[in-house]
Chains A and B, each alone.
Chain A
Amino acid sequence: MTKATFRSRKASLLVPDARTKARNASERWFRLTGIAAVSVGILALVFLLGSVLDNGLSAFRQTHIEMAIPLDETKLDVSGKRDPALMAKVTTVGYGKLIQASFQKMLEDRGVDTEKIKPNKLMGLLSKKAAADLRDMVLANPDLIGTTLTFNAMTNGRVDGYFKGRVTLESAERDSNISPEQLRLAQRMADAGVIRTKFNWAFLTNPDASELRPESAGLGVAILGSAYMMMIVLVLSLPIGVAASIYLEEMAPKNIWTDFIEINIANLAAVPSIVFGILALALFVNFLGLPQSAPILGGLVLTLMTLPTIIIATRASLKAVPPSIRDAALGVGASKMQAIFHHVLPLAMPGILTGTILGLARALGESAPLLLIGMVAFVKDYPSSPPNGFFDPASALPVQVYNWTQRSDPAFAERASGAIIVLLLFLLTMNSVAIILRRRFERHW
């Protein structure tokens, strides 16, 4: 038998030997790579947020022209009966004339030189929506007739863009929708304090608008649609997901069938979302006949998509509850259900809620399946309040972003970025709620 020999290591403790140096070097490398990766990530995030904010923040500002409009009874309600049916006979053309007269008079009063600009060009400074807005206001409140209304007209998207730097005198030369003279007039109006910039509430409340009037396009319908869908997803996926997890984790026998189900749930979480859209089209629309473009349909699709996420998160949190708690409960004679609902579930709650909210956040940002079920349609009317509103056509935030990026007018690019900011704010809020709930429910054992 040969005696094993070892190399003696008689190096000083103060001088690292070659092996130690190599080990330290590799550790240093790993650290550096990590720091580099994190830095690249942070830079990318800063760039993303920077560009979105840079492009989108201006969507929250809108230039307005304030004018006093005498609502003349002889023009708006000839019969004098305030009968809505008769009043509705006055079209937006009639209201447009009223606005035009007031607009011209206001410019004269404020001493703004219109350079004999043609009336239709003058009206081109205002949003095409202005007349319709005024008409809606009067029809909704006939008592206004006979009074002088202080009316805030939105400026046209191009004029608005001029004050935001998107439209210039040079670009106006080539633009059939706006001329440099109009922009110069707008500049004089701004100098005279006639055009003023305000916070753009309409962006958050208005429905979508056509290609021709980007200034009045808003997220109202999309926010409502997304909110309705989130309600449906929460109400359906949380109880179903938690119940399914409890059954699978705590009650179901462990056999080949439950293994099969388990694998499939994990796979479902990874299925591309557009596949769920096709499923919804076949099942909910073609078979069950649910209305297309409706939040109920979108909500159901997103529920299907969110369920695997919730089930996986819930099962993981149920597993993380120490078995000693179950033993303790069973040991004093609690039934299985009591042990689960009194002790295990409360301890698993933080994980379940976090998983649910993350699942909801993913559902909120999902657009692909919604495109397939027709939520990409142009929806101008607000859905009514729930539960009937669940069956009315609506849009959704991410789909609205997609929609607006398709349009040619650069004003919609600004709106799309603005919509992304709104979407991000919603996601941020949901994640904060998840963190707060987690903190709140967290208990130590």
Chain B
Amino acid sequence: MDERAKMSARRVQVYYGTNHALKNVDVDILDKTVTAFIGPSGCGKSTFLRCLNRMNDTVASARVEGLIEMDGRNIYDSRVDPVQLRAKVGMVFQKPNPFPKSIYDNVAYGPKIHGLTRNKAELDEVVESSLRKAALWNEVKDRLAAPGTGLSGGQQQRLCIARAVATSPEVLLMDEPCSALDPIATAQVEELIDELRSQFSVVIVTHSMQQAARVSQRTAFFHLGSLVEYGETGTIFTAPNDPRTESYITGRIG
């Protein structure tokens, strides 16, 4: 196991009913690093991502085997409350999904339910700093009471990032965060991911290999439910070990 590993997965299997969706995955997520998961549709990268904060628990037919540790603790231990885990492992989804509430309430919701602040002033501070970290503060500071759903797609996604950041997570999972965004909004979010790396680990699932190459330091390539190759992003894209990885990044499969 890597010394700098924030989270590590060993021999992870995921079944949806009888369908063996993820086979024998070993990955170490390093602290303060951006890790990209790439691979063709249905290869299991989103499934694996959702194992890291136990979102798969909400799928009745899903069954996870193997070991996933965070700071050396098994997150699938029966004593672990997934609710607490998810406060530490935040998540940003493919489609921006702000709550149909005000911008302020969207960001304040996490700190409120976890009791992270003692009074309104502290909460205001958390909201402001989260929105600043998500590079959204300057655009919305005058209309915090406006509905979050009234923002543009890119702004909504940054609002969702601010919402995830507000609970001060240690790992941030992003499931194709830019797939519903235009190139300008995508560039803003990518820039943001690079800044967030200084505070915590970011795991990003992406369909765009250019995006993986631009934002990540480590890349994992999944194919047909298996982890094919995992390593330095530069190595994966320039000198892959596995012929399947090479075929994918050169566009022959996928």
Binding site for B on A (CB under 8 A): 253-254, 322, 324-335, 338, 342-343, 347, 443-445
Contacts and interface: CB of A to CB of B under 8 A. Distances in A.
Contacts of A334: 83, 109, 113
A324 B100 contact: no
A327 B97 contact: yes
Contacts of B99: 325, 328-329, 343
B93 A342 contact: no
Nearest to A337: B83
10 contacts: A322-B97, A327-B55, A328-B160, A331-B90, A331-B91, A331-B92, A332-B113, A333-B84, A343-B99, A443-B100
B187 to A, nearest CB: 24
Contacts of B164: 331-332
A332 B100 contact: no
A333 B100 contact: no
B110 interface: yes
Nearest to A324: B97
A328 B164 CA distance: 9
Given A328-B160, A333-B86, A443-B100, 10 more contacts: A325-B100, A326-B58, A327-B91, A330-B55, A330-B86, A332-B90, A332-B91, A332-B164, A333-B113, A445-B100
A335 B83 contact: yes
Given A333-B113, A333-B167, A338-B113, A328 B98 contact: yes
B163 interface: yes
Contacts of A331: 53, 55, 86, 90-93, 164
B interface residue count range (under 10 / 10 to 19 / 20 to 34 / 35 or more): 20 to 34
Contacts of A343: 99
Contacts of B163: 328, 332
Contacts of B83: 333-335
A326 B97 CA distance: 10
A419 B167 CA distance: 60
A338 B87 CA distance: 14
Contacts of B95: 324
Contacts of B87: 332-333
B109 A342 contact: yes
Nearest to A445: B100
Contacts of B110: 332-333
Given A325-B97, A327-B55, A328-B93, A333 B60 contact: no
Interface of B: 53, 55, 58, 60, 83-87, 90-93, 95, 97-100, 109-110, 113-114, 149, 160, 163-164, 166-167
Contacts of A327: 55, 58, 91, 93, 97
Nearest to B173: A331
Contacts of A444: 100, 149
Given A324-B97, A331-B164, A254 B60 contact: yes
B149 A332 contact: no
Contacts of A347: 100
Nearest to B107: A332
Contacts of B55: 327, 330-331
Centre residue among A327, A333, A347 by max chain B CB count within 10 A: A333
Nearest to A326: B58
A323 to B, nearest CB: 9
Closest 8 CB pairs between A and B? A333-B87, A324-B97, A331-B91, A332-B110, A333-B86, A328-B97, A445-B100, A443-B100
A347 B160 CA distance: 19
Nearest to A328: B97
Contacts of A326: 58
Contacts of B90: 331-332
